[in-house]
Chain A
């Protein structure tokens, strides 16, 4: 499945400086694992050693937090938009 991935500012230096890239995968976990292979500098920033999501990483598929859609098992369909955001306190937009 081909999807679009939005990269937060904090991860861009380690991911070629891009803010949006095209990704492929059938689940969130698959997409994130591929990213850590392509960009070794972010290893440990996306997934824990047991394959679960990093505590301070929020992953949204089309605005839905994947922790409530099955976590790394959440499925990706064609043209989905995946957004990575760091977890922070309170509300700055």
Chain B
């Protein structure tokens, strides 16, 4: 095994595993890229390091200078990844976190020394983004990396995740991933379209907007600037909604192939299965999907052990993505 100088060197180059045993069609292979293998436990490790290195390059952050503070809205994984990188670099991190994330996410942020600023759970990630924006404006000395708009987010996926997928799965025909900030889909999608224009890019979304109480009208909605800046509407070939029940069912089904993963990964797998179902029996296809993180941070949700109806009901008020 190689020897590494820093934990940060362990980010990326994640394994891909064949989960075709769960494919609804024998002519369609499904491969899962296991981003939970990153050191802080999720695909967001790539993004966090990229955002911080970009800020160091453009001078907004100065390595080694004490007293520097960052602020970022996150429902968990980006915050945790940033907290890990900030701990190593000596930056103070404030994470604006909706109150209704799983307690394990909160614990991990604290473990890496981040400070948590609560935002109303009923407003979801929209509320966290708004609060972080206003706090950043009120405190101009704080560095606001703003993962939803920072080009360093999709860029790292263009530079690393995309090439890794093409190298490991050259026969790829479809790429399926959760939308979120859209960084993964925009970066990987653009790379794949440039190198294999025939590859179809599918986005998976939970029915988020239904549960956000803070919306007064549709004009309070939000589309990540990254999505608009990368012309996401043209880059994506298809976008499907995956409901809580399907996400949890597929999170459970993934244990049949030995994978214990987070609930957004269950949603991505559900999306991959929907994608597989559209392939004609006479054709063959290879779908790659992203397993964003492992299941450890969601044990308290009872997703694997409790009654499915109860878990689905609780999912409506808890942020799992």
Contacts and interface: CB of A to CB of B under 8 A. Distances in A.
B218 A88 contact: no
B218 A83 contact: no
A78 interface: no
A36 B40 CA distance: 48
Interface string A22-50: 00000000000000000000000100000
A25 B32 CA distance: 40
B187 interface: no
Given A45-B218, A56-B222, A93 B320 contact: yes
Chain B CB within 10 A, most for which of A55, A63, A83, A88: A88
Given A9-B213, A68-B237, A91 B222 contact: no
Contacts of A93: 206-208, 210-211, 244, 315-316, 318-321
Nearest to B100: A92
A7 to B, nearest CB: 10
B5 interface: no
B241 A87 contact: no
A86 interface: yes
A89 B242 CA distance: 16
Contact of B126 (A63, A64, A83, A89): A89
Contacts of A58: 205, 209
Interface string B233-268: 100111111111000000000000000000010000
Contact count band on B: 35 or more
Nearest to B315: A93
A89 B221 CA distance: 8
B75 to A, nearest CB: 5
Contacts of B236: 68
B181 interface: yes
A31 B256 CA distance: 42
B216 interface: yes
A21 B34 CA distance: 42
A68 B239 CA distance: 7
B240 A92 contact: no
B23 interface: no
Contacts of B316: 93
B210 A9 contact: yes
B273 to A, nearest CB: 12
Chain B CB within 10 A, most for which of A9, A67, A85, A89: A89
B206 A88 contact: no
Contacts of A83: 207, 241
B125 interface: yes
B211 A65 contact: no
Given A64-B240, A68-B238, A93-B315, A88 B215 contact: yes
A8 B211 CA distance: 9
Contacts of B178: 91
B206 A86 contact: no
Contacts of A88: 124-126, 208-209, 212, 215, 221-222
A8 B242 CA distance: 16
Contacts of B220: 10, 56, 86
Given A57-B221, A89-B148, 7 more contacts: A9-B210, A45-B217, A58-B205, A64-B239, A65-B241, A89-B224, A92-B211
Q: Which 7 A-B pairs have the closest CB atoms?
A: A91-B321, A56-B221, A90-B125, A92-B124, A86-B209, A65-B239, A85-B209
25 contacts: A9-B215, A10-B209, A10-B220, A56-B223, A57-B221, A60-B241, A63-B240, A65-B203, A68-B237, A83-B241, A85-B207, A87-B222, A88-B124, A88-B125, A88-B209, A88-B212, A88-B221, A89-B125, A90-B129, A92-B124, A92-B125, A92-B206, A93-B211, A93-B319, A93-B321
